[in-house]
Amino acid sequence: MSSHISNERPAFDRVITDIADYALGYEVESDLAYETAHYCLLDTLGCGLEALEYPACTKLLGPIVPGTVVPHGARVPGTSFQLDPVQAAFNVGAMIRWLDYNDTWLAAEWGHPSDNLGGILAVADWLSRTGAAEGKPALTMRQVLTAMIKAHEIQGCIALENSFNKVGLDHVVLVKVASTAVVCGLLGLSREQTLNAISLAWVDGQSLRTYRHAPNTGSRKSWAAGDATSRAVRLALMAKAGEMGYPAVLTTPTWGFYDVSFRGQEFKFQRPYGSYVMENVLFKISFPAEFHAQTAVEAAMTLHGLLEAMGKTAANIRKITIRTHEACLRIIDKKGPLSNPADRDHCVQYMIAIPLIFGRLTAADYEDQVAGDPRIDELRAKVECVEEPQFTKDYHDPEKRSIANTLLVVLDNGGTLEVTVEYPIGHKRRREEGMPLLVEKFKCNLARRFGEEQQRRVLDASMDRERLEQMAVSEYVDLYVV
């Protein structure tokens, strides 16, 4: 006995057509979105420059075949590499994400929308250089900012109501989908080609989150977004070459994404695509810490100052209770040994122990030299995390989007200290306070890599948004070449 299976090709899933139509046709009119994208560009590039100080990152960079230089290829900021756009996207994406210090979006799914800059910048730079060689107009940095706004929006709007982590998938699937869509726009693909490319991104087997969680936490979480954004460039180029798509990749019974990877659920959407995500994105300004711990680290820094004023130190702490939101418990509440920097920067106990002991938290504090201090694990053992239901509620409230943490410290004499921080400095509600600090962070990262004259040239071009937007992408990226 056999059953009839229709082989009639369906229309593209609505989710895919909505993404394609937004990426190709939406006109961004929000000046706030462009202003925020400008800051996002500077911060994201600065994060990549800081990552170049870490051999664990730089060993993965460069061409696949050592010594390869691609004529008119994309340049990798902070290096001398000139690569094909797929490998350049991996390089830039890995640099950006390595230290977990670029922007963040928190919703049903978490993620870092500026991860998409890997594919955006690589393709825009490559197109500008090849265009110049052929006598064509170069792409401008305004187009890069537009693509960033759209990539943020695609990734963030899907994330608002759809939790990939709850089905064991990593959020970089959204980097791949968003990068694919906006790269298609930069490449000038048709609507049909763009639909094909986006469907290919969903067809891919998606990354498991296991490399972000105990007991397997490891360095793949630092290059997973680079891998995703470079894969997006590859898929967009395949679609440009005429590769077919798969219209019902999400909805097909048994074989589609929903049934195979999303427990039979269809995606839900809270709002149409616009510029909401870029306008409300969270910047990591003060600390290179997983975002759910940002306010906890800030509270720990305040407590360090209070202890000093009392003539006490972390050694005088008997117990610490962290009242927090559910997402923090699920991701970074971690007991037991921590085996590597990637493990440590996803442990809230570790991230508060460092400032309580040393009065600081830097990327270097996750390295073995610091982690070997026995006081850190002694203090970690005194920390208990509990959910504060109101914090979880406010975390999901679209009008608040708080990331609150309270630290309650019990001292050895029985005294207590308590500090609550609801919104991190990079939150929209603290944007006025945060942006000058973000600019200082950018300047500091430039100084890590460049001499004074090159720093000045980069700053002169970067801080004047009107001038920056008119620059050719290749002209701007050349300022970062060493």
Which pLDDT tens digit goes with each residue over 162-208? 999 999 999 999 999 999 999 999 999 999 999 999 999 999 999 99
Dump pLDDT digits (tens) for 112-156: 999 999 999 999 999 999 999 999 999 999 999 999 999 999 999
Q: Band of the pLDDT at 8, cuts 50, 70, 90?
A: confident
Bridge partners, residue 385, by sequence: 322
Alpha helices in 140-253 (DSSP H): 141-161, 172-187, 191-203, 220-240
pTM: 0.90
- Let me know: does 171 contact 164? Beta carbons within 8 Å: yes
How many other CB atoms are there within 10 angstroms of residue 330's CB atom?
14
What integer pLDDT is reported at residue 332 of this predicted model?
Answer: 95
pLDDT greater than 70 at residue 444: yes
**DSSP single-letter state for residue 55:** H
Q: Across residues 75-79, what is the average pLDDT?
A: 98
pLDDT greater than 80 at residue 410: yes
Q: Band of the pLDDT at 106, cuts 50, 70, 90?
A: confident
- Read off φ and ψ for residue 320, nearest 5 degrees: -130, 130
166: Cα within 13 Å, side-chain hemisphere? 12
pLDDT greater than 70 at residue 43: yes
**What is the distance of C-alpha 238 from the center of its chain?**
25
Dump pLDDT digits (tens) for 208-256: 999 998 889 999 999 999 999 999 999 999 999 999 999 999 999 999 9
What integer pLDDT is reported at residue 128 of this predicted model?
Answer: 97
- Read off φ and ψ for residue 437, nearest 5 degrees: -70, -35
pLDDT greater than 70 at residue 2: no
Q: Across residues 103-116, what is the average pLDDT?
A: 94
What integer pLDDT is reported at residue 83 of this predicted model?
Answer: 98
How many other CB atoms are there within 10 angstroms of residue 339's CB atom?
15
**DSSP single-letter state for residue 363:** G
Cα 77 from Cα 295, distance rounded (Å): 31
What integer pLDDT is reported at residue 20 of this predicted model?
Answer: 98
Q: What Å distances lie between residue 354 and 25, 101, 351, 362, CA to CA?
A: 48, 17, 6, 9
What integer pLDDT is reported at residue 164 of this predicted model?
Answer: 97
Cis status of the peptide bond prior to 215, with omega within 30 of 0: yes
pLDDT greater than 60 at residue 1: no
Dump pLDDT digits (tens) for 18-40: 999 999 999 999 999 999 999 99
Q: Band of the pLDDT at 4, cuts 50, 70, 90?
A: low
Cα 241 from Cα 244, distance rounded (Å): 9
- Let me know: does 476 contact 468? Beta carbons within 8 Å: yes
- The percent of residues in the chain predicted with pLDDT above 70, rounded, is 99
